Amino acid sequence: MREELERIGQQAVNEISLVKRESDLEKIRIRLLGRKGEITMLLRGLGNLPVGERPAMGNLANQIKIKVEKALAERKQALGSSEREEVTSLDITMPGRENWVGGLHPLTRVTQEIVEIFTALGFQVALGPEVETDYYNFEALNFPKDHPARDMQDTYYLAEDVVLRTHTSPVQIRVMESQSPPVRVVMPGRVYRNEEINPRSFTVFYQVEGLYVDRDVTFGDLKGILVAFVERFFGLSVPIRFRPSFFPFTEPSAEVDIGCILCAGKGCRLCKKTGWLEILGAGMVDPAVLAHVNYDPEEVSGYAFGMGVDRIAMLRHGIDDIRLFYENDLRFLRQF
């Protein structure tokens, strides 16, 4: 039995020293020291020995058990530390795994930036519904039924007198109905038009509307606020010009251009060789509109403006196709 024990012990230590994987160490442990393991069985068999031999043999068996356990533990540690060495030799030049947490859509950002410029200048913010009645979208804004000006905007009708709003101007009416002058508000939001889809136009887009009504508001005030806006949004050196135009709800009306930010006014493809880019429509609120909301045109006057957020965002970021904003390709969105 003594030889048997010593042979098992020696063989185990040799075998353990050659093991390469932790799972193989476990197999050896079970084979020798498990419930039915070789050493375990020998220890159990001690009872069959003559009483005089039991202590010496028990002692030896225990020593061998301890020796095997120690060899297992040492080998396990050696394997573990070489695994750790592999870990420290990792390639630290490998690109990290990016944690993408999401962000604001570029149109949301530009809308917020525009709104913040006006709130810093004393404007409140108001919102209105995207599903509008004919009255707010057209009638109260001085577009009579069958007036050709309605053709300027290809309208989606949901029912006879219910439309998807074609502009944010109806929010002007809702604000003036709900409060008396002075009012000074900007009204951001989404608008809809049944337009041909191409790089310059889409069926959905964003506008920011502005309105100021008070005693003695003049066209000079309108120019002042829009110059301040352009300076803050596009920069001090960008020139601005007002061109006469027509809108049913303003008189006089103007369209506002800025000097082309791509060619600095020299003329290029973006500005169609004119050196100018249109960014908004504006004008003095028509007295007929003030009368619709029971403001007295003899007492108060006002200006209004409306700008296309998509176009302004395209100019700001050098984007040449409006559809990119609505396709929501992450490769595009992640650039902002």
Residues at the site binding ligand DAH, with contacts judged by CB under 6 A: 167, 169, 209, 247, 250, 281-283, 304-306
CA–CA gap between residue 263 and residue 276 (Å, rounded):
9
Q: How far is the CB of 249 from ligand DAH (least distance, A)?
A: 6
Q: How far is the CB of 167 from ligand DAH (least distance, A)?
A: 3
Alpha helices by DSSP H, the chain = 2-18, 22-33, 38-44, 54-88, 106-120, 134-137, 169-178, 219-234, 287-292, 309-317, 324-327, 330-333
Q: How far is the CB of 169 from ligand DAH (least distance, A)?
A: 4
Closer to ligand DAH by Cβ: residue 189 or 281: 281
Closer to ligand DAH by Cβ: residue 167 or 292: 167
Closer to ligand DAH by Cβ: residue 189 or 306: 306
Indicate the SS3 state at residue 72: helix
Closer to ligand DAH by Cβ: residue 102 or 148: 148
Q: How far is the CB of 213 from ligand DAH (least distance, A)?
A: 12
Q: Which residues have C-beta within 8 Å of that of residue 15, sequence separation ≥ 6?
A: 28
CB distance 298 to 304 below 8 Å: no
Closer to ligand DAH by Cβ: residue 209 or 257: 209
Q: How far is the CB of 103 from ligand DAH (least distance, A)?
A: 28
CA–CA gap between residue 331 and residue 336 (Å, rounded):
10
Amino acid in position 209: E
